Structure 1
Amino acid sequence: MKIIKNIELRALLHGFPELREIDSLAKVPYGLDQDNEVYYTINNKRHVGVLKIYSSRKTTRVHEISKTMSFFCDKGICVPEVLGVGSLSDKRPYIWMQNIPGKQNIRYSKRKIQQIARHMARVHIIDSCKLEKDIIFSQPIIPEIPWDNVGPYLLMMREELLILNEYILGHIYPKGIIHGDYSWGNCLFSNLGKLNSVIDWDHSRQDFYIIDIARAQIFFSFDVKDNFRLEREREFIMAYSLVRPLTENEIKDLKIHIQIQMIRMLIETHYFTNTKSVSLNRFTGTQAAILPKRLDKKIKNFKTISLMRRPNNKY
């Protein structure tokens, strides 16, 4: 890891009292997202926190993320405590948060899935009305990319997305604050397999709970060969439902929402990897799970499973 000290560090953190105790920074590799910088903050050779610096998000949005994390942390949800939030001398906003020990573990286990599902459900059942007044950020139907500059493949995916959205148009689902990006990479486990924390709340927003549930299946319900495993989805939903039972519409429309989230992710990932010249060869594990070719395969495999699946599956 790159260590930043002395003049460079003082210039970066100048004028921020809450960051004065930091001796040095150790840069953390941050996957596909090249727009943010993440550092371990070190004091007396100990990791005392994590500093996340945003290059493309507005300061107001970063404050929303910070407020959401603090809200759920205060409610006893396993979320890193926010230690500070603001803007650096170069105007880039940052969040300084607690460094929670744990490791990202992409090896599937029923126990881990159940813990993640219960964590999500606990987030969803908390009365967040007070927070929702400050968080107005729902997911648009179509990903916001410059559509004039894309090829026929992505345009075809957009049309499929519009067709799927027509199926659920007008359907009523419970709504509140969601995490927006439950994945193996955002779940930290102890050596004993206990879920220590869910990190990366950058996609948190006010939206339908079913979106959180559906997106999570892209990571948790497919095996290493990108085949959709109904039993894994069932395990997740059963664990989730012990905390918050799904509504009839959520059960009925879940498979459509899973397809929608996969296509959205495919569009965004395909656009990102082709416009930012990201080398795909260096990504493994969770990062590799969202690469365009694998997502395309997942979508095809999921459609095959969906055709064989009985409607109104009650789990």
Structure 2
Amino acid sequence: MLTVGISGASGLIGTALTQALRDRGDRVIVLVRRPAAGPDERSWDPAKEIFDAGLAGVHTVVNLAGAGVGDTRWNTEHRAAILTSRVRATRTIVAAIEASDEPIALVNGSAVGAYGDRGEEVLTEGSPRGVGFLAEVVRAWEDAAAPLVEAGRPVSFARTGLVMTQRGGALAPLLRATRLGAGGPLGSGKQYWPIISLRDEVAALMHLIDHPEITGPVNLVGVEPPRQREVAAELGRLVHRPSVLPAPGFALRLVVGEFAGEILASQRVLPERLLATGFEHRDASVDEVLAAALAG
């Protein structure tokens, strides 16, 4: 039995990961921003970089804390929150691990936003970082764990793609539009979407927890990213609605603002290190990923 500390445990991925770990018999310590209500909670304040409770008895910390990226229109204040919430949370956990004499591993949240908009280019963990706001966020986010990396501690960076679930993320608004008969391609529809099912995302995080020897960036994405128009077409087929009317880029920008640039970005990201370390996806094709999302 492992003892795993999780920040961001109330989020979409964190909730599913917490349940999966407990289901297999592990103990989960949830980091909360209020007084701890029991032995399986520890209080912290990442905004002030305070974590007096510490990490005694914890084998691995999974850091998923951070302000939502796509759940509100971006403005100067929210852009700052996206960046600072991730950096401060990571620095707070890094300091707690440094203060511990125990060999605690860190699975730090990250994102395929590291690569930026790269068109047709095949992207692996060895590819250089890209440019753009989210690429800079990921750079600062990962760099906040540098003290542990430099000290030789086990640190992996879970560069997560687009997690497909009807409960949130990139799929929820597309699903609503599709059910209304307006779920066609976004922009040109030619952009690659690095999708992954929620259950494969959780399984991949558990793979990193179970294998602390896997360090550095790890792409948490599906086997082969589809083009966005394939996602739209398959979703329409599954919910028995037409999905041919495209949504122009300018219309997306009117609706969601600056975040539209990320929706329209092309990221042909492959899970090279996941596959090389023995991970097997349950949902390998676009139809399997979307069917799993709709079933959940």
Q: Same fold (TM over 0.5)?
A: no
Give me the TM-score of the superposition, normalised by structure 2. Answer: 0.30
Give me the TM-score of the superposition, normalised by structure 1. Answer: 0.29
* Structure number, greater radius of gyration: 1
**Structure of greater relative contact order (alpha carbons < 8 Å, 6+ residues apart):** 2
